Amino acid sequence: MPDTMPLPHSLATLRLERDGPVVEQIVDKLGGMIRAGSLAAGVRLPSVRAMAGRLGCSVHSVVEAYDRLGAMGLVAPRPGAGTFVAAIGPQPAGRGADPDVGDEAVSLRSFGAPALWKPGNGYLPEGWLRDAWPPAVLHRVQRRMPELLACDGTARGDGALREQIAVRLAGMAMPVSPDCLLTTLGGTQALDLIIRTQLQPGDTVLAEDPGYFKFYTMLERAGVRLHPIPWNPDGPDLEAVEEACRTLRPKLFLVQSVLHNPTGWTASAATLHRLLLIAERHGLMLVEDDTYADLHPGHPVRLLQLAGGRGLIYLSSFTKMVGPATRLGFIAAERPIIEALLQAKLLSAPALPVMTSAPVTVRLLVAPSRMS
């Protein structure tokens, strides 16, 4: 489609720097414009060829950048019409939802959608996953298939698997004993176990606003009261957290400190340190959701690093990197909390599927891939 429509001023002034990865620059600049509101929802972006010509880069760079923006929920392609800026941000935390357009309906539609673009499911585009693992790694999996199928799953998680995860966390300056780890069927089961063991109906929970829409629904189903906490580029609004702790005595606060969903922001070390002090002062349990850990190109600070594993529950998952069918996540916490989570897990899923509990599989998963 020819680009005959006048460009918004923000796009007309878009330029790339001489230094730095081209794709990252396009994603950062366009993403920043969309989040700031200078590119409104519904605006059609220039075609891939037109954008490449305007920026003086390759068509492939623009294609990858548009794909990444789509995976972040910032743009949406319309077949035959182009790529358009998406309406970002879920409804505020704790707000009632229409059954036809609410959190549960969005989740069901996005996970079951047959189209290439599935809004809201949080998974990487298929094209990214196709080349994520070297052929030699995939060949090793095929060669060890009989051994994998012979392994027995355990409720706590295979010992070798938990040791490998502990090694991986230690390499990120987050030392955790394998005995303080519990494997789960992805991040969703981890959140469900935490809600069932740490909360009671009527408890108050602090929820990021905007935040992960499925978490809102899980809390509402558990009879928990949600109190929204605004999320800023450097992390949660600490004044709002302090005020809520003084007046509402919340039990728990779910924090996505790295690559927050849906904003993509990463909290600063200073904000996380102050948040830990507030939580300790008021007896607030912090739950750090780090399911996008492998997608951050740098070495951001996490709550688990600062807290040393005390007064904190940490969860992560390999599902986003490997693919939706690989339901492998884990929780790190102090041993009494892990034991309570284990008892809850035994009531619903006493063992992981053998393909995700086998030691050889986790050695493949925790090794750096081409995408990390």
Q: Which domains does the chain have, with CATH numbers?
A: 1-88 (1.10.10.10), 135-366 (3.40.640.10)
CA 219-225-228 angle, to 5 degrees, is 90
Pair of tokens at residue 128: 């990214």
For 226, the 3-state DSSP assignment is: strand
The pLDDT, as a whole number, for residue 41 is 85
Dist CA 215 CA 260 (whole Å): 13
The dihedral over CA atoms of 183, 189, 191, 197, expressed in degrees to the nearest 10, equals -80
Can you list the positions of beta strands (E) in the chain? Answer: 75-78, 82-85, 181-184, 204-209, 225-232, 235-236, 252-255, 285-289, 312-317, 329-332
Residue 233 burial by CB count (10 A; 0-12/13-18/19+): exposed, middle or buried?
Answer: middle
The token pair that represents 47 in the structure block: 């075609």
- Give the torsion through C-alpha atoms of 287, 288, 289, 295, to 10 deg: 180
Amino acid 322: pLDDT: 62
pLDDT of 321: 63
Q: Looking at residue 369, what is its pLDDT?
A: 40
Count of Cβ atoms closer than 10 Å to residue 137 Cβ: 15
Planar angle of CA 252, 255, 256, nearest 5 degrees: 155
Looking up tokens 């924090």 gives 255
Instruction: For the chain, list residues with pLDDT below 70.
Output: 1-10, 88-135, 137-153, 319-326, 349-372
Coil, strand or helix at 358: coil
**Contact in structure between 223 and 110 (CB atoms under 8 Å):** no
What is the separation of C-alpha 149 from the centre of its chain, rounded to a whole number of angstroms? 30
How far is it, in rounded angstroms, from Cα 83 to Cα 149? 44
